[in-house]
Amino acid sequence: MINWFRLSSPVSFYPIAGAWSYAFAVLAALLAGVGLVVALWIAPTDATQGDAYRIIFIHVPTAWMAMFIYVVMAGWSALALGFNTRLSAMMAQALAPTGALMAALALWTGAFWGRPTWGTYWAWDARMTSTLILLFLYLGVIALRSAIEDPRRADRACAVLAIVGAVNVPIIYFSVQWWNTLHQGSSISLTAAPKMAMTMLAGILIMTAAAWCYAISVVLARVQSIIVERERGAGWLESLIDWRAEGTT
Amino acid sequence: MLDFLAMGGYAWYVWMAYGAVALVVAVEIAAVRARRRRAFDELRMSLEPPSANALARAKDAR
């Protein structure tokens, strides 16, 4: 059984984060390799959309990650506010840049999928607009942190913004049901054979797993840097630097 | 190979989308590494002059 209280301290979390970051990086690379082969070679050309539909294999995972990372960030923020734990706030801080990049990629890949299929790169459609707001919320959280000098005050301000902004996530998710606009649900017409739908589904799931592993790996690596930046006064970091100086530099 | 790159006439869209993902992943990994380097550089600077503890450790290591 894992001792969760031990994990909530930056001292004991630092080495664990490093090990997990490495493991998830390896997993992400393997999954992305397999996923890209399925996405670009194995999955057959779509009957109506041609090869343009292959963008789905990166569009759907990045869009899911953009929403999911926001929920996780809001969750860590709530923990940080509720229990006043440093590490929770650091996790929220580490998630924001990756979430912002995922939101930007979801919009970008969506634009390059929308142009050949809908005839436009951009429309003020409910789902696209709410995803753009998601990107602005991420950027707002990042900007707010850099605007406040005291990290503990920045933690609280960012946590409040992240939690309030979380109402946008269900809006994105249900936007295709609530508003009858350009962005369809998951109604991509394949050549109807169930075998092909299976390949497509498998491709999306593998790429999504790769995106998950990538996000976990990069966020854990970033939280390590944040710990070093913010715990500078703490004595335990000294042992870390000695070890690094001997080992790697 | 050329056939593959042509993506059935949708090369511009498919490769702009996939290329952006590849670029963002590469840039983010580089940024995370640069941040780690910077964090440790600043930590090292903040520790000057080395504490007795650090000196003892360095001596042990040699």
Q: Which residues of A touch B10 (CB under 8 A)?
A: 50-52, 116
Higher pLDDT among residues A65 and A191, named by residue:
A65
pLDDT band for B21, please (50, 70, 90 cuts): very high
| A91-108 pLDDT per residue, tens | 999 999 999 999 999 999
At residue B54, does pLDDT exceed 80?
no
pLDDT band for A87, please (50, 70, 90 cuts): very high
By Cβ distance, the residue of A54, A58, A229 closest to B21 is A58
A214 Cβ neighbours under 8 A, 6+ residues apart: A24, A25, A28, A32, B25
Beta bridge partners of A46: A50
Q: What does A87-130 look like in DSSP terms, one character per residue? A: HHHHHHHHHHHHHHHHHHHHHHHHHHHHHHHHS-S----HHHHH
CA-nearest residue of chain B to A220?
B32
At residue A244, does pLDDT exceed 70?
no
Q: Mean pLDDT of all residues in chain A?
A: 88
Binary contact (B42, A232; C-beta < 8 A): yes
- Alpha-carbon distance A93 to A74, whole Å? 10
Higher pLDDT among residues A47 and A101, named by residue:
A101
pLDDT score recorded for residue A247: 43
| A165-183 pLDDT per residue, tens | 999 999 998 888 788 777 7
Q: Which residues of A touch B47 (CB under 8 A)?
A: 238, 241
pLDDT score recorded for residue A44: 85
- Alpha-carbon distance B1 to A231, whole Å? 52
User: Cα–Cα–Cα angle for A78, A81, A82, nearest 5°?
Assistant: 80
CA-nearest residue of chain A to B55?
A242
A&B contacts, CB < 8 Å: 96
Cis peptide before B50 (omega within 30 of 0): no
**How many Å lie between the alpha carbon of B50 and the closest alpha carbon of chain A?**
9
Model's pTM, two decimal places? 0.87
By Cβ distance, the residue of B17, B28, B54 closest to A101 is B28
**How many Å lie between the alpha carbon of B23 and the closest alpha carbon of chain A?**
10
Q: What does A15-72 look like in DSSP terms, one character per residue? A: HHHHHHHHHHHHHHHHHHHHHHHIIIIISPPBTTTBGGGGGHHHHHHHHHHHHHHHHH
Q: What is the mean pLDDT of residues A150-166?
A: 95
CA-nearest residue of chain A to B8?
A51
Residue tagged 């840039």 (tokens): B27
User: How do the domains of chain B map onto residue ranges?
Assistant: 20-62
Higher pLDDT among residues A5 and B10, named by residue:
B10
pLDDT score recorded for residue B58: 67
By Cβ distance, the residue of B17, B29, B47 closest to A241 is B47
At residue A189, does pLDDT exceed 70?
no
